[in-house]
Amino acid sequence: MKKYFRVPLTLIGAIGLKQVLFLILLGCIFFIATADLLLSSIFEESASEHLIYSRIISVIAISLIGLSIATAVYSIENHLDYIRKITGELENLYEEDLPYSEKHDAPEAMLNLISSLNRISEDVRSNFSALSNERDTLSSLLETMTDGVILVNDSKIEIINNSAYQMLGIEEISADSNSFMDIVRDHEISSILDEAVETGSRIEADILFNQTNKIVHVISSPGTEANRKKVLLTLHDLTESRHIDLTRREFVSNVSHELRTPLASIKAIVESLESGAIQDEKYASDFLHRIHSTVDSMNDIVSDLLILSKAESDTENTETDIVDVGAAAQFSLNSLGDKAAQKHVSLSINAKALPALVKANETQIEIVFTNLIDNAIKFSEEGGEVWVDIDLNNNMVAASVRDNGVGINSEDIDRIFERFYKAERSRHNEGTGLGLSIVRHIIESFGGSIEVKSNVGEGSLFSFELPRFIETESC
């Protein structure tokens, strides 16, 4: 059908629809008036013939007008059809294709509209892509931050990252329940938020968050004057740093105490000797023996501190070699044989898989076994037993030292590896309190882990694992 309307449509595309309809109507009026005048002059005497020809001319004119109207309706419908197509594709503005392109068989009058829409679509998609990239970058940044971030707007949470979830012990926020107070449930943080909104100033404070038992540094930063109800909360977890500070203070206090006590003892003995006890050979010999023993104790403390310091801070420069864990355990058992014999404690080793090789420092692995076995002997009763087991656990070498001695209280187990910590201080005041701390740091420095299980009166089991060294044949 298109071919019948090609010339009118071309004309419409060239000068416009309104202009074409106006010209057709003028032409029809002019044609009717001219024809009527001609017929009137030709058929002056015959009114009937004049009427017939007038009706014929009217029919022709009406047909022309109808043709014009049909052409206009078809053109309008054609344009509407393309507009509908463009509208449909505009709904998929953010999809891969442009809303409409010149490659379609569109009317010429529509091409400018299509071209403009394409440019608008490109601009919108470019802006949308830029905003999407910024959103993804912001989201990635928030999720990788160790600090918690919460954006609150009019007491409603708009943004919260994973660190804030974990720090505050918050579960997933539902869409219909994002009230800050209902979710966080902490009056101190809420008051910091409210103060920032009221004053328009940045507020900082350290609080103890009871739900997770964490010490949190909270920074509440309000928005602009026009947007003051929007507040950015930044949460920094201080728990670990406060624990380190506390450990450091306790360490200094413990070192001072451990050295002050023997020094005070030596001073008292020296004063007694100066007061005349040195003249009594029996008392003098006993006092000198005590001084010697106290100095040895102090020397043990200094030696253990040096070993601990090296284990904590010099792991990268530690010389490593291929160490047979079973051989290291046997060496420690042999060196402590006399001490065990004095308490009638039997020592035994069960090496199910030999050789059990690890990449470590041989001297330090021997220190581990010496400390664990020495503790087992020390806290065993007369006639007790100490067992050392070596085995393989997949790609790990598993070792354990077990005794049937006095055991450890449950409240002491969590702190047993702390420096200078001694379980049951009133009953056992031997040692420096550094041995297990040294053991833990040595094991961890070589990529291993250690744990303890114990019940009072049933003995203790110290077990650790180290990455197994597997020999490979050279090609």
pLDDT in tens, 37-63: 555 555 555 555 556 666 566 666 666
| Confidence bin at 5 (pLDDT 50/70/90) | very low
**Structure tokens given for 346:** 């039997």
Q: What is the largest CA-CA distance in the chain?
A: 177
Can you tell me the distance from the alpha carbon of 307 to that of 184, in angstroms, rounded to the nearest whole number? Answer: 45
Can you tell me the distance from the alpha carbon of 226 to that of 220, in angstroms, rounded to the nearest whole number? Answer: 17
51 DSSP assignment: H
The pLDDT, as a whole number, for residue 106 is 58
The pLDDT, as a whole number, for residue 321 is 87
Residues contacting 413, CB < 8 A, separation 6+ = 452, 454
Report whether pLDDT(378) > 60. yes
Q: What mean pLDDT do residues 90-104 have?
A: 52
The pLDDT, as a whole number, for residue 410 is 79
CB 362 within 8 A of CB 322: no
Report the phi/psi class of residue 106: left, alpha or beta, with left for phi > 0 and alpha for psi in -120 to 50: beta
CB atoms within 10 A of CB 360: 27
Report the phi/psi class of residue 155: left, alpha or beta, with left for phi > 0 and alpha for psi in -120 to 50: left
Share of the chain above pLDDT 70, in %: 68
CB 184 within 8 A of CB 148: no
* DSSP notation for 273-295: HHTTGGGSHHHHHHHHHHHHHHH
The pLDDT, as a whole number, for residue 48 is 59
Can you tell me the distance from the alpha carbon of 365 to that of 332, in angstroms, rounded to the nearest whole number? Answer: 10
Listed range (82-96, 230-244, 382-396) with the worst mean pLDDT: 82-96
**Residue for token digits 């909104």?**
197
The pLDDT, as a whole number, for residue 475 is 36
| Confidence bin at 390 (pLDDT 50/70/90) | very high
Listed range (37-41, 264-268, 369-373) with the worst mean pLDDT: 37-41
pLDDT in tens, 120-156: 777 777 787 788 777 777 777 777 788 888 888 888 8
**Structure tokens given for 449:** 């882990």
Q: What mean pLDDT do residues 448-474 have?
A: 85
Nearest to 305 by CA among 265, 352, 259: 259
The pLDDT, as a whole number, for residue 461 is 92
Q: Read off the amino acid at residue 350.
A: N
The pLDDT, as a whole number, for residue 254 is 72
Grouping H, G, I as helix, E, B as strand and the rest as coil, residue 103 is coil
Report whether pLDDT(230) > 70. yes
The pLDDT, as a whole number, for residue 369 is 93
Residues contacting 399, CB < 8 A, separation 6+ = 325, 329, 356, 369, 388, 389, 390, 391, 463, 464, 465, 466
| Domains of the chain, start order | 1-142 (no CATH), 145-237 (3.30.450.20), 242-311 (1.10.287.130), 315-467 (3.30.565.10)
| Confidence bin at 1 (pLDDT 50/70/90) | very low
Q: What mean pLDDT do residues 111-121 have?
A: 71
**Structure tokens given for 260:** 């002050």
Report whether pLDDT(267) > 70. yes
CB atoms within 10 A of CB 137: 10
Q: If you average pLDDT over each of 8-17, 296-305, 328-337, 407-416, which comes out highest?
A: 328-337
**How far apart, in Å, are the Cα atoms of 215 and each of 196, 210, 341, 379, 385?**
20, 9, 50, 37, 45
Listed range (6-15, 142-151, 276-285) with the worst mean pLDDT: 6-15
The pLDDT, as a whole number, for residue 103 is 46
Q: Is the CA virtual torsion 373, 375, 378, 380 positive or negative?
A: negative
* DSSP notation for 347-399: EEEEESSS--EEEE-HHHHHHHHHHHHHHHHHTSPTT-EEEEEEEEETTEEEE
Q: What is the mean pLDDT of the chain?
A: 76
Residues contacting 242, CB < 8 A, separation 6+ = 215
**Residue for token digits 């709904």?**
91
Q: If you average pLDDT over each of 77-91, 308-322, 381-395, 425-439, which comes out highest?
A: 381-395
| Confidence bin at 432 (pLDDT 50/70/90) | low
The pLDDT, as a whole number, for residue 466 is 94
Nearest to 26 by CA among 16, 18, 15, 38: 18
**Structure tokens given for 151:** 């954006």
Nearest to 390 by CA among 436, 326, 439, 449: 326
